[in-house]
Amino acid sequence: MAANCQFAFAVHLLTLLAHKAGEPMTSSALAASVNTHPVVIRRLLATLSRAGIVVTGKGSQAGSRLQRSPSEITLGEVFRITMPASSAALYPHGPNKRCLIGHNIEGVLITILGSARAAFEEALGNYTLADVLARVAEGADEIPKPISSKAAASA
């Protein structure tokens, strides 16, 4: 079972773009920071571009930049974009429906995971890309509480 790194990669590259404050960056430069292949970054940038978070120019040296302010981009939004609900697949072939547990387990797990995901997305919505950038600039390894005005207003 492979782990999905899309969310972590997206937050990383978006934070780097926020740090560059509008200066376009190539997928190769972004990939070097994330420590992955530029093709992985280009696919992720295409997803983020369709969602209206980044804008990417044409050509090998055009680069990408944020389309919106870092304070307007929440981690909840990035999570929803990079981790669609279908990414939490339970069974590749489905459980045995003739088994008492197998007959009902998927529905129960889907309900529980949906509730947990909603709570997780809500919590991530309290943090903006500006929060991440500020904490990275401070060298903090953990984020004890949101520091953005968005989070303070909802508290």
Instruction: Decide if 73 contacts 13 (C-beta within 8 A).
Output: no
Distance CA 139, CA 137 (A): 5
In this prediction, residue 145 has a pLDDT band, given cuts at 50, 70 and 90, of low
In this prediction, residue 120 has a pLDDT band, given cuts at 50, 70 and 90, of very high
| Helices of type H across 51-128 | 75-82, 100-124
Q: pLDDT per residue over 41-80, tens digit each?
A: 999 999 999 999 999 988 766 899 999 999 999 999 999 9
CATH topology for 6-84+127-146? Arc Repressor Mutant, subunit A (1.10.10)
Residue in the block written with tokens 């509730």: 115
In this prediction, residue 93 has a pLDDT band, given cuts at 50, 70 and 90, of confident
- Please state the domain extents for the chain: 6-84+127-146
Other Cβ atoms closer than 10 A to 3: 6
